[in-house]
Amino acid sequence: MTINKKTPPSMDEWLREAKADSSAEKIGMYLTHNGTVRQTAKATVREGNMDIPEVTGMYFSYDEKKVNAAIEETYKMDGIYYIRVWLNEGHLSVCDDIMYVLIGGDIRPHVIDALQSLVGTIKRECVVENEKYE
C-alpha cells in the first residue's frame, strides 16, 4: 500500500484559530516547529558518520495514539494551554514538511520546554522515519 504525503497546514490559519480559542487569554507566547526532510543523513548529523550518502527522500509514518498521548502529557506541563500537531505520512522528498507543532503557553521558558519535550517524544516514540538514498 502506498501512502501519499499530505498537504501541510497554514501556520497563519493555525495562529488565527489559536488566538480565537478560549485559552488565548492565558497565553503570552506561541512557538512553532516545522521539521523537514534534509539532504544530510541523520547518522551524519547526529553521529558524524560521513560514509552515508545524501538522502533523496524518506518514508514517514506515525502512531496516532502515541502522538495523542504525548500531547496529553505535554498539557500537564506548567503554563501550557494550547497544542496543535500535524504530521505528514508516506513517501517524502527532500525539503518536504515532516511535521508542524504549535504550542501556546504563559511564559517563554514553559513554552520552549514544552515544545522541546513534545517534539522529542514524537521523534523518539511515535514515528518511523526511513531515509532513502540513491
CATH number at residue 28: 3.90.1170.40
Domain count, the chain: 1
Note the pLDDT of residue 33.
98
Contacting residues for 25 by C-beta, under 8 A, at least 6 apart: none
Of 42, 107, 50, 49, nearest in space to 78 by CA = 107
* Exposed / middle / buried, residue 47 (Cβ in 10 Å: 0-12, 13-18, 19+): exposed
3-state SS assignment for residue 35: strand
Is 4 among the domain residues? no
Is 17 among the domain residues? yes
- The grid coordinates listed for 9 are 497546514
Is 6 among the domain residues? no
Is 71 among the domain residues? yes
Compute the distance between CA of residue 59 and CA of residue 38 in angstroms, rounded to an integer.
13
Is 3 among the domain residues? no
Domain that holds residue 84: 11-133
Note the pLDDT of residue 43.
84
Is 29 among the domain residues? yes
Q: Consecutive 10-residue runs of the chain (134 residues): their mean pLDDT? A: 79 98 98 97 87 94 98 98 97 97 98 98 97 90
